[in-house]
Structure 1
């Protein structure tokens, strides 16, 4: 990765009149530079991506679609636009350390790898339901903040910059699921299992490549001791040659759950360049005669070849391991404290993985021949290691990677049993009350079973006196030849099925000018490029001829169209009338139309007093 400096944007450049560019940051995508910037209006740090060449238009469109997905784990897109012919995307600032830096000292512990990737999968499942996919997952876009939150950047945008148009729904969801499993593999091993079919996707630049056997990455449990069986099998079957494993982020969530909290305070402790020793077969330059020294194996190991069986995750995991198998389940058993080492150390009686000689990945320096037991050394401290302190709420980098700390003896409270007991008790109580209500009419002492009830207990007369005024539950019906009467309304947002301020739509025709329905506030009158328009659909009590629509608003300017259609097709039919908003806007339909539904299609927003753009409709009248 390198720092790309834009020829158009530099220090001090102000984008959209509010984002001041400060300094360049590392970007791993060609054709795009990244900058630290500040939002001068809200006085907050932001990140700016300048799109200089390549698929600029598709990338801007992808960024707009990503902005519509809201989740705390997805880096939010704040603004999209152009500056002197170049595109820019403003997003929240990325905080914390990337997965690439987290595993630089050594793999994460299994429970932390499960939690980090599980949170990322949950976020991408929310995006998938909105039709947005990442398609360019790699260690540099997955971050963990100092307070233990997962942040995932580059949603949809990075794939567009790489020229990946996606494909059908099945292939895109499968691509994200496989990309998440690659991140899980990297978290467990510190190695990157690159996709040979997509060499253009970055990722291998930040981590050493995973060893390949028969066209597939070596199983994580053959590289790192203590990898749980379910996670190892998940990586093997998903990254294998067959179309096995999860086919969507949601399926991956179900494979990984449940997981615990992320105990990561890595912003102050993560460093790069710590050596790591792994176990895998020599490939490429590390093969015999390849020029990379292979240390002698001091342990007695079998020489039988490794056989990886390709099948589905659940069927593979359902099979029982043979006696003495070295793949514990989650959580792994507690290991004794040790002075050095980042991962679990096999006991003297433990059998190492078969058929795999020991080599050192080329990306890491080897200071001395390895000891008989494979360890991943870290920098030695001058003072002897102290036992872990049991302090509440303070976490270090050793909580994330497999450092030499004794696992806590306390376990998280599992409320499942308590919830099941409460549900059973509630069901029993409900059944008792149901039986009492069912058989109460057969009780001789129950007055309700009296065939001749007294007049005082009799039901009110069926025929009621006519009321002079309709009740509140009655729907108003327009008299023959009278003006149109509004029966119901709804707001329309092409990008969100929930509409805009749906809870206030009735305030636009409640007869009270002090209340109003209003749109969301945008930074530009064209909805900041996020959508083309919003609408307000009106349904009448019956089919009626409508000649004028009168709008009383708190706004001036913008543009609104009247169409004889409904919320399911808001742009259907011709425009019967249009014009700007004002204190009282009278829109005359040409021609007068007999209809039972109308749509007010707002194509341009008027300015608001607070500096944004929105419309506030206090009353709507039809004639």
Structure 2
């Protein structure tokens, strides 16, 4: 179909109505369109008569349509003939990596989490012999539905005529560049990309992320170097495929999804947020029942009698409540000694709770005394006490919920700086159920010296661990004895920990 013949309002396949021309390049035009049957926005590529790769693009789109990973753009339709060649795919709304970087580099864990999701999605695509080959910041999107989406799999390479003899390595390098961009706000290429400045160089080589941005964890620096900076590897093996990148990032915390309640007619609401809200308001206005009085005989008074009876009952209940309240107040004023004596334990406990203050730990450590080296990802332990609920410390991944039957427990050890009484500890865990955690407190960081003061089974989300009896110590240990499922494996996650204390012991 000639681009000159395609204008806003054109309908393809008697279903897809073109609305806005988004971009045009080398004879291929991207449109925002409406699927009139399902009343939802879609993306449509059309092609001019001189576009040379229609067959390759349509073939790639048809192959991509068979993939089911929700992190990859879904293809709905693709057709090829002399007059009507087009590709219809999912219309994705959200913020691209370019948008996310407009305010500077991302938090390291967030950048790693986004790229880890993309790496897993591309690993699935590679299993089906489908490749991306042109990963750029605009291709990685955090959607309005709080999910990761990789745009343009197979199709964008066909549009550009890109081919390669080493697709796995090319996509691994592309993922490494995305991680580099997320960690530094720079693009490791010879030119700017999507508004990102080119990465700085030393002696003709790109600087590593840690050389560009302070605070990048060493392991993320290493993953990035192994994926896309061959000059800086210093003997380290390259990450040569998306699956290897995904494996290297398997332990990073993933972006937390936010629960969204969809309107009852999501297809219409997806076309316009305003329409969706209007629909919700109209539905609320229809909830009150319609008056039914006209259906009653005009001389029937049963309803009035019932109303009078109900009103009488309400008045009697109010009088009774007032009387009980007055009696309670009078009793309190007349005999203060008796209530004070009878409620001494409760008053003391509530008073201690009321005066408890949040105390920031001096430092945190991943604690694995039963493992080989005693450490459990201490390099990211500080993320659990940084005051940011979007960051997290995680355990290593295990083969089952019982820590792969390798050990009895693993945890996060907090050094409070000095001995103090512990009122409670509030830990925000992963939403997935299945965590079993103990709270241990003591004055020595040795496992045998830490006393278990609280236990919570089947824990998830915000979990409060309150000692069953007064507990004091310098060290606070959140000890996982069971971890929940996470992305096909099992690991514990702590997004944030808050320790409350009524004062120093």
Structure 2 length as normaliser, TM-score?
0.51
The counterpart of 2:401, out of the listed 399, 406, 419, is: 419
Kept in 1: contact 2:109–2:391 (CA 8 A): no
Distance 1:134 1:121 in 2: 11
Q: 1 or 2, which has the higher helix percentage?
A: 2
Q: Distance in 2 between matches of 1:252 and 1:418?
A: 23
Q: Are the equivalent residues in 1 in contact too, given 2:28–2:47 (CA < 8 A)?
A: yes
By percentage of residues, which structure has more strand? 2
Matched, 1:65 2:60: no
Relative distance call for 1:134 and 1:188 in structure 2 (3 A) is: same
- Residues 16-36 of structure 1 show CA distances to partners (whole Å, capped at 9, x for unaligned) of 111000112246x54422111
1:422 to 1:158, Cα distance in 2 relative to 1, 3 A = closer
1:33 to 2:83 alignment: no
Corresponding residue for 2:212?
223
Distance 1:410 1:149, change over 3 A: closer
Residue in 2 that maps onto 1:172? 167
Q: Which residue of 2 aligns with 1:50?
A: 46
1:240 aligns with 2:233: no
Q: Matched residues in 2 for 1:406 and 1:76: separation? A: 33
| Other structure's SS at 1:104 match | helix
- Using a 3 Å threshold, how does the CA distance of structure 1 residues 185 and 83 change in structure 2: closer, same or farther? same
The answer to whether the 8 Å contact 2:230/2:238 transfers is: no
| Corresponding residue for residue 134 of structure 2 | 136
Structure 2 distance, partners of 1:256, 1:49, is 34
Equivalent in 123, 144, 147 of residue 145 of structure 2: 147
Distance 1:421 1:140 in 2: 38
Looking at structure 1, the residues matched to 390 and 38 of structure 2 have their Cα atoms a distance apart, in angstroms, of 43
CA distance in 1, matches of 2:34, 2:93: 15
Structure 2: distance between partners of 1:408 and 1:42:
35
**Are 2:92 and 1:94 aligned?**
yes
Q: Deviations over 1:195-221 (max 9, x none)?
A: x5xx8xxx7143222123344321111
Report the counterpart of residue 177 of structure 2 in structure 1: 182
Q: Partners of 2:97 and 2:390 in 1: how far apart? A: 24
Tell me how far apart the structure 2 counterparts of residues 180 and 331 of structure 1 sit (CA, whole Å): 25
Q: How does 1:495-510 map to 2 (within 5 A)?
A: none
Larger radius of gyration: 1
* CA offset digits 1:169-223 (Å, max 9, x no partner): xx111111110010001111111112x5xx8xxx714322212334432111111
| Contact kept? 1:215, 1:241, Cα under 8 Å | no
Residue 77, structure 1, aligned to residue 75, structure 2:
yes
Distance in 2, Cα, partners of 1:410 & 1:124? 25
Cα distance in 2, alignment partners of residues 80 and 153 from structure 1: 16
CA RMSD of aligned residues (A): 3.4
The aligned residue for residue 9 of structure 2 is 12
The Cα of 1:407 is off from its aligned counterpart by 5.8
Counterpart in 2 of 1:109? 107
Q: CA deviation at 1:161?
A: 1.5
Describe how 1:557-576 pairs up with structure 2 within 5 A.
none
**Distance in 1 separating the partners of 2:390 and 2:194:** 36
Match status 1:213 vs 2:198: no
* Number of equivalences: 284
Shift of 1:86: 5.8
Structure 2 portions without partners, runs of 5+: 259-377, 408-505
Q: Which residue of 2 aligns with 1:120?
A: 118
In 2, Cα distance between equivalents of 1:231 and 1:125: 19
Q: Return closer, same or farther for 1:335/1:107 CA change in 2, 3 Å cut-off.
A: farther
The equivalent residue for 1:358 is: none
Residues 418/87 of structure 1: CA separation in 2 closer, same or farther (3 Å cut): closer
Runs of 4+ in 1 over 6 A off after TM superposition: 412-415
Unaligned runs of 5+ in 1: 266-327, 337-404, 426-623
Match runs of 1:313-328 below 5 Å: none
Cα distance change on mapping 1:240 and 1:16 into 2, 3 Å? same
Q: CA 1:422/1:57 → structure 2, altered by over 3 Å: closer, same or farther?
A: closer
Q: Please report the TM-score for the alignment, with normalisation by the length of structure 1.
A: 0.42
Alpha carbons of structure 1 residues 331 and 206: separation in structure 2 relative to 1, 3 Å: farther
Shift of 1:107: 1.1
User: In the TM superposition, what are the counterparts of 1:152-301 in structure 2 within 5 Å?
Assistant: 152-167=150-165, 171-194=166-189, 204-241=193-230, 244-263=237-256
Residue 355 of structure 2 aligns with which residue? none
The 8 Å contact of residues 56 and 87 in structure 1, kept in 2 or not, is answered as yes
Q: Given the superposition, is the C-alpha separation of residues 82 and 224 from structure 1 closer, same or farther in structure 2, using an over 3 Å criterion?
A: same
Q: What is the alpha-carbon distance in structure 2 between the residues aligned to residue 418 and residue 132 of structure 1?
A: 32
Q: CA deviation at 1:109?
A: 0.7
Q: Distance in 2 between the 1:411 and 1:254 partners?
A: 18
Residue 330 of structure 1 aligns to a residue in which SS? helix
- Are the equivalent residues in 1 in contact too, given 2:200–2:212 (CA < 8 A)? no
Whole-angstrom distance in 2 between the partners of 1:113 and 1:45: 29
Partners of 1:116 and 1:131 lie apart in 2 by 23
- Equivalent of 2:380 in 330, 353, 361: 330
Residues 96 and 145 in structure 1, CA contact (< 8 A), matched pair in contact too: yes
Partner of 1:21: 18
Classify 1:205/1:408 alpha carbon distance in 2 versus 1 (closer, same or farther; 3 Å): closer
SS at match of 1:165: coil
When residues 414 and 329 of structure 1 are mapped into structure 2, their CA distance, relative to the original with a 3 A threshold, is closer
Q: The residue matched to 2:402 in structure 1 has which SS?
A: helix
* Residues 204-246 of structure 1 deviation map (CA, whole Å, 9 limit, x = unaligned): 1432221233443211111111101011122223323459421
